[in-house]
Amino acid sequence: MAGDEWSSMGCGDSNDEWSCVQLLGQDAADTAFRTHWQTWITADDLKEIQSYGLNTVRIPVGFWINEDLVNDGEYYPRGGLEYLDYIVGNCTELGLYVIMDLHGGPGSQFPGQQYTGHVVDSPGFYTGDNYERAYKFLEWMTERAHTNPAYFSVGMLQVINEPVHSGDYPSEAADMVANYYPNAWTRIRDREAQLGTADSDKHHIQYMGEAWGSGNPSQNLPDTTFAFYDDHRYYKWDTSVSATQDGYISAACNDNRGGSDIIIGEWSISVADDAQYNGEFDIRDTDANNDWYKKFFAAQAQAFERSGGWVFWSWKCNWIAGFNEWRWCYKSAVDAGIIPKDAASAAGMSPC
Instruction: State the Cα–Cα distance between residues 214 and 345, nearest whole angstrom.
Output: 35
Give pLDDT tens digits for 107-123: 999 999 999 999 999 99
Tens digits of residue pLDDT in 298-324: 999 999 999 999 999 999 998 888 899
Residue 321 is predicted with a pLDDT of 87
* CA dihedral over 28, 33, 39, 43, signed as positive or negative: negative
b/e code 94-113 from CB counts within 10 Å (16+ = b):
bebbbbbbbbbbbbbbbeeb
Give the burial class of 45: count Cβ atoms within 10 A of its Cβ; 0-12 exposed, 13-18 middle, 19 or more buried. Answer: middle
Distance separating alpha carbons of residues 200 and 302, to the nearest angstrom: 29
Find, among 93, 91, 92, 126, the residue nearest to 108 by Cα: 126
How much is the mean pLDDT over the chain? 97
Whole-prediction pTM: 0.98
Cα 19 to Cα 118: distance, rounded to the nearest angstrom: 8
Q: Does domain 41-223 have CATH number 3.40.50.1820?
A: no
Question: How far is 146 from 280, CA to CA, in rounded Å?
Answer: 49
- Asked whether the beta carbons of 215 and 173 are under 8 A apart, the reply is yes
Annotated catalytic residue within 17, 192, 266, 325: 266
State the Cα angle at 110 between 108 and 112, rounded to 5°: 95
Query: Alpha helix (H) ranges present in 154-231?
Result: 170-175, 181-195
pLDDT given for residue 122 in this prediction: 98
CA–CA separation, 224 vs 219, rounded Å? 10
* 76 half-sphere exposure, CB direction, 13 A CA radius: 28
Strands 204-208 and 97-104: unpaired
| Amino acid present at 340 | P
What is the predicted pLDDT for the residue at 319? 83
Query: Which pairs from 9-13 meet CB under 8 Å and 24+ separation?
Result: 9/33, 9/35, 9/36
pLDDT 10s digits, 55-86: 999 999 999 999 999 999 999 999 999 999 99
345-351 — which CB contacts under 8 Å span 24+ positions?
346/297, 346/298, 346/301, 346/302, 347/298, 347/301, 347/302, 347/305, 348/298, 349/294, 349/295, 349/297, 349/298, 350/253, 350/295, 350/298, 350/299, 350/301, 350/302, 351/249, 351/253, 351/295, 351/298, 351/299
319-332 average pLDDT score:
93
Average pLDDT on 178-204 reads 98
Strand, coil or helix: what is 305?
helix
Q: What is the pLDDT of residue 318?
A: 84
Give yes or no for a contact between 106 and 69, defined as CB atoms under 8 angstroms apart.
yes
Would you call 266 a catalytic residue per the annotation? yes
Res. 98 pLDDT band, cuts 50 70 90: very high
The per-residue pLDDT for 166 is 98
3-class DSSP assignment, residue 56: strand
> In the chain, where does DSSP find H-type helix?
3-8, 17-24, 26-39, 43-51, 81-94, 128-147, 170-175, 181-195, 245-253, 290-305, 330-335
Residues ≥6 apart with Cβ < 8 Å to 169: 123, 126
Q: Which of 17, 162, 192, 325 is catalytic?
A: 162
The structural domains of the chain, with segments of one domain joined by +, span 1-39, 41-223, 233-352
Reply yes or no on whether 82 is catalytic. no
